[in-house]
Structure 1
């Protein structure tokens, strides 16, 4: 069973979203997704300063046997990336629990888009747990 914290929001494309105190959002790969992928060997991070729309592919995660795109959960501007993942992509699987290994941060252009994301119960239902 996946670890699905109740204080996060989720996308159907398996990103978790955490609201930060400054109004930005931290985005990472869900526990369910990282378990399905297996050991992560490479992370393609989004470009800082890039404007994105909800659902845009902004990067990718590569594991030994599979690859998964990373999507923007909401529209806005990418304001930071977790540069530690360049040299330590495995942190998505180990070292942190997956909901602390953020991949990028975004400043949303319309905070009402957060309401379209899944809560923990909705994500559990979406993945069949």
Structure 2
């Protein structure tokens, strides 16, 4: 009888620990596990696009961009389903067109040493 009681107690203890372990892997879907943020900003910068001929190595195209005072909206969403895992999603977009300026070097032939042509200004 004593052996039977010990076996029943062991089964109860092991089944409780197995249940406790399985609950660890249920994701937290409460509002406290999710954070969000929203912000606005201004984008300024420069960019250069280059294209080369793969056979000769000669530069075929060069576009130089300057970006000035473009209003942006940034967003962030973060979810922590478990204490050891966080999932993030972030993004941004421009709110309106700002000032842009591009210098195009595509028109240059291989005989021309240099120069530029302003195609677009803001």
TM over 0.5: no
Higher-Rg structure is 2
Tell which has more relative contact order, 1 or 2 (C-alpha 8 A, sep 6+): 1
- With the length of structure 1 as denominator, give the TM-score of the two structures: 0.21
Quick check: which one's strand share is greater? Answer: 2
